Amino acid sequence: MSKKAGQQSLLLDPAPFLSSAATVAGPMEGKGPLGGDFDLVYGDLRASQKSFEAAERKMLQEACSLALEKRSFNLADIDYFLSGDLLNQITVSGYSAAALGRPYFGLYGACSTLALVLSWGGILVAGGFACNVLAATSSHHCSAERQFRYPTEYGFRRPTQAQWTVTGAAAALISAAGESPRITAVTIGKVIDMGEKDSFNLGAAMAPAAASTMILHFQDLQRNPRYYDLIVTGDLGQVGAKLLRQLLARSGYFLEQNYNDCGLMIYNPAVQQVGAGGSGCACPGVVVLGHLWRRMKSGELKKVLVISTGALHSTTTLAQGDTIPAVAHAVALEM
């Protein structure tokens, strides 16, 4: 049976299988170094839809269909659809759930959503409450930019520490029976607020949450960073990743060559102007379920720890002078 380990972690036993994964990406992501690992790349940010919001929904639904197709699953085989995104009232997920017609858990965790849906999917399957769960997330540069910052065509010079919201969607099929990798453990994070107020510096706002969840993960499961072939955070970017290393070092954990950040992997910063790296739900979504999933399948990686981090502010709270709370969740994937 599944059991709680330590303060915040859960050992999933029998460990559910991440038996299928599919990713859809936008034009910039397709031109990045991982472009070849995405199942479908759109050259058009609108994906032939009337709005960016509709394009994001199309991408999410397409990622879901592709994940099912790969294992010849039908929608009827899915017990629950778990999804979340960045837009107000997580409308991308809600509208997609309407199109899919399966029982739906809508989860909001901002950019931590990937680990959130994988955790919950894993818990439902390991707990015997479901045989097959479809877990998905998405983000779109233009819909997120418009909601959180300025109109998309508004001109301004982006600060160096700003990150670039990834356009794309990712979906995973979590099953009681299937093929590895498996979700062996999850750590659910606390919400942490260190007082950061700069919405262009979310890496700094989220690094403490990532550090807290990673430390608890290692303590609860009596592991250290070397246990994993690769540890990836979702979208801390250059600034956040540096801060994370320093925070972990203070608690006696040292991240070495086996650490990376999805926001630093997805683009080619020498050619693509993306500031401090990628961000958004789709950033860890397409990197983990597109790129890393393939590397695990090929046997190159056996144990991967995914920590995705989310900033839980809104434009209203920031305009009223409040600080940015953040959360991080961790998911251990093993072959």
Partner 1 sequence: MAAVPEELKITAEEYRELARKEKPPPPLLFNALTAFFSGGAVCLLGQVIQNGYIAFGFSPEEAANPTVVTVIFIASLLTGLGLFDHLANLTGAGTAVPVTGFANSLTAAALEFKKEGLVLGIGSKMFSQAGSVILFGVVTAFVVGLISALF
211 binds partner 1 (CB under 8 A): yes
Q: Which two tokens stand for residue 101?
A: 């017609």
Indicate whether 271 belongs to the interface with partner 1 (CB under 8 A): no
Q: Which of 88, 224, 251, 268 binds partner 1 (CB under 8 A)?
A: 251
Q: Which is nearer to partner 1, 46 or 71 (CB)?
A: 46
Interaction of residue 215 with partner 1, rule CB under 8 A: yes
Return the residue of 44, 89, 177, 190 that touches partner 1, per CB under 8 A.
190
- Between 128 and 152, CB nearer to partner 1: 152
325 lines the binding site for partner 1 (CB under 8 A) = yes
What beta strand segments (E) does the chain contain?
3-5, 9-11, 17-25, 40-41, 80-85, 104-106, 132-139, 164-165, 168-175, 182-187, 230-233, 259-261, 278-279, 303-311, 326-334
When asked if residue 157 is in the footprint of partner 1 (CB under 8 A), the reply is yes
* Helix, strand or coil, per DSSP, at residue 139: strand
Cα 11–chain centre separation: 20
In the complex with partner 1, the residue whose CB is nearer, 65 or 323, is 323
Comparing CB distances to partner 1, the nearer of 103 and 159 is 159
Q: Which is nearer to partner 1, 142 or 296 (CB)?
A: 142
Alpha-helical segments (H) within 157-251: 202-220, 237-250
Question: Could you give phi then psi for residue 180, rounded to 5 degrees?
Answer: -65, 165
Assess 295 for contact with partner 1 (CB under 8 A): no
Q: Decide: is 319 part of the binding site for partner 1 (CB under 8 A).
A: no
How many CA atoms, within 13 angstroms, populate the side-chain half-sphere of residue 264?
Answer: 14
Q: Is 123 exposed, middle or buried (0-12, 13-18, 19+ CB in 10 A)?
A: buried
For partner 1, the binding residues (CB under 8 A) are 50-51, 146, 150-161, 190-196, 198, 201, 204, 207-208, 211-212, 215-216, 219, 239, 242-243, 246-247, 250-251, 273, 276, 323, 325
